[in-house]
Amino acid sequence: MSRPLIGICSALEHARWAMWEQKAALLPSSYVEAVQRGGGLALMLPPDPRSVEDPDETLDAIDGLLLAGGADIDPAAYGQQAAPETVGTVPQRDAFEIALARAAIERDMPVLGICRGMQLINVALGGTLHQHLPQRFGHDEHLRSFGSFDGSDHDVELVHVTKSHHHQGVDRVGEDLLVSGVAIVDGLTEAIELPDRRFVLGVQWHPEVDPGSGIVAALVAAAAQDSDADRGEPGLTAV
């Protein structure tokens, strides 16, 4: 039985490895490992200009889409000027992922957005973002330790303790999205869903670094239903 293929959008960053130092397509291994734990096969999706115009070519190759974390989204994508705290944007990545997200939602493909990925879903559906949460809420609870999840746990009213690492967040919620989780500390939107689709979920926290979370496995299970239907195979069960 073949595993469902989960496409994970990757970043473009300057990186160093072995004797090399150059621009690279990057993806933290925690995303890959979470997909594998859930029974899926992970495929990196670096930004591709042709897919901005024809996202179906990419989506035809996968069973589910995972929008990963990373750099701030260019505020031009939601009609704003960049605040001083919004840095390191990669418009090429934004355009690619927005195109994929919209087309995947249109065809009812399972989609999971994590951190930046949740914000991306919101922007793709016409929503906006708070560009710097400390300025909006007056505290740093959403990003306590830069570059680390140590001491990052905070409660979300589902209720669930989450691993949080972000300085931006959802402001105006995108069209037809349902807010299904908020941060207890300040009411910030932490989970969004699209009720009229089989599986479209965005979470502001990082379930891929939480072995006890079943969120990534749920994406894999939803993608397996389409994968098995195409191959005439019985459904998989998420682990």
Question: In the structure encoding, which two tokens stand for residue 119, read together?
Answer: 């914000």
In Å, how far from its chain's centre is CA 184? 21
Pick the catalytic residue: 97, 190, 193, 208? 208
What's at 114, amino acid-wise?
A: I
What's at 136, amino acid-wise?
A: R
- Percent helix, strand and coil across the chain, each to the nearest 5: 30, 25, 45
- Phi then psi dihedrals of residue 78, to 5 deg: -125, 25
Whether 9 is catalytic is no
Whether 166 is catalytic is no
Rounded Cα distance between 25 and 14, Å, is 9
Pick the catalytic residue: 9, 115, 142, 165? 115
Candidates 86, 94, 46, 42; CA nearest to 64 is 42
Cis amide linkage into residue 159, ω under 30° from 0: yes
Pick the catalytic residue: 142, 154, 165, 206? 206
Whether 115 is catalytic is yes
The set of catalytic residues is 115, 206, 208
